[in-house]
Amino acid sequence: MAYNKFLNPMTEEQYRKEQNIQALQMRFVESGRTAPFERGVARIALTEGCNFYCKFCHNEGMSGITKQFDLKQLDTILGAYKDKIKSIKLVGGEPLLHRQFDKVVEICQKVAPTSVTTNGSMLQKWMQSLVKLEGVTVSVHSLMNERYQDIMGTSSNVEEVVAGISELIAAGVNVHINCVLTRENQDEAERIIERFAQIGVSEIKFLEILKVKEEDGDLYFPLAELTERLKKKYGEPKVAGSTKMAFPVNEKTSALLVYQYCSVGCNVCRVEGFLRIDPEPALSYCLAAEPVSIGEEASKGDVEGLKAKFELAMNGMGKPTGYTYSVKGRKRPNLVQIRQFQADNKAQEVQAGL
């Protein structure tokens, strides 16, 4: 039902939030999931570093040379959890910044089908490894180059990213697009769907912006409005998960809408079956939870200790308390500064012999 300020005592924002929570609860019940980690999706953050500065980043992506997941520890951790993990998603920061991404893929694929979520700036560099993956998700928040560079805080050209995506599809890779919908790009949604459907992308996912930082509120655009627009074009959507609705676009492509799902303590990630393993290394099932360190166990190869920490991360310690990532926040530079940072990072890497 549309918001009517004369009939409703809540503000429009409160009303929409309330509606989202109710819809979320309904879909949660429909999805029938109750056991933690039932879907067994391990999100492995290969590095906290990122070469982009998206406006709405939770700041998992830090600039400069940051810690990268140690290959030996990764092998040990995955070995300990291999019976629990059903699929692996490589994330970051920007996961393709990992200097041994090819080796990471080999280790992960021994354990479970593996996919990656990337900003698309290094598709060419790792093409040979990417084509071996189960799937590649590329974040593209606009197809208009100037807007793309502004939203994503990069000097990369969006058409080069789209060319890389076409190459992946031609090689038979299942490609998804992530697009965070805001006031600044909502007018492009239908165009983004059409362009990516045309080149054979399987899924175009629109994510409602999470209000983690104060500025996120200014960018907020209610996904309910896009839902109404797409209904007119593609008919009624299908429930696709506790926070998701899907519109079939053609036989190969669908548009997926992921509604504002995260309010600290909501437990969705836990029940949906997610586990984040970050490069410290540490475990958490929610970005807003205090991570549970597994560094000692991973370096000693203590499999029983790793298993015990898994239970702690899921059930005891590490309960969501608030977003720790936003506290670490980076100040967002302008494009000239970004080019300078990118050049400086390259020089630092060369100097460090990386």
Site string for ligand SF4, 144-183 (x = CB under 6 A): --------x-------------------------------
119 lies in the site for ligand SF4, by CB under 6 A: yes
Q: With binding defined as CB under 6 A, does residue 142 bind ligand SF4?
A: no
CB of 61 to ligand SF4, least distance (A): 3
Of the candidate residues 28, 41, 61, 219, the single one contacting ligand SF4 (CB under 6 A): 61
* Count of chain residues binding ligand SF4 (CB under 6 A): 13
- Scanning 57-65, 236-244, 246-254, 259-267 for contacts with ligand SF4 by CB under 6 A, the matching segment is 57-65
Nearest distance from residue 152's CB to ligand SF4, in Å? 6
Which stretch, 8-16, 20-28, 49-57, 343-351, contacts ligand SF4 (CB under 6 A)?
49-57
User: For residues 305 and 329, which CB has a smaller minimum distance to ligand SF4 in the complex?
Assistant: 329
3-state secondary structure the chain: CCCCCCCCCCCHHHHHHHHHHHHHHHHHHHHCCCCCCCCCEEEEECECECCCCCCCCCCCCECCCCCECCHHHHHHHHHHHCCCCCEEEEECCCHHHCCCHHHHHHHHHCCCCEEEEECCCCCCCCHHHHCCCCEEEEECCCCCHHHHHHHHCCCCCHHHHHHHHHHHHHCCCCEEEEEEEECCCHHHHHHHHHHHHHCCCCEEEEEECCCCCHHHHHHECCHHHHHHHHHHHHCCCEEEECCEEEEECCCCCEEEEECCCCCCCCCHHHHHCEEEEECCCEEECCCCECCEECHHHHHHCCHHHHHHHHHHHHHCCCCECCCCHHHHCCCCCCHHHHHHHHHHHHHHHHHCCC
57 is a contact residue toward ligand SF4 (CB under 6 A) = yes
Is 94 or 297 the residue whose CB approaches ligand SF4 more closely? 94
What is the footprint of ligand SF4 within residues 311-340 (CB under 6 A)? none
Binding to ligand SF4, residues 271-290 (CB under 6 A): none
Stretch that binds ligand SF4, among 55-63, 181-189, 231-239, 338-346 (CB under 6 A): 55-63
Report the interface residues with ligand SF4, using CB under 6 A.
50, 52-54, 57, 60-61, 92-94, 119, 139, 152
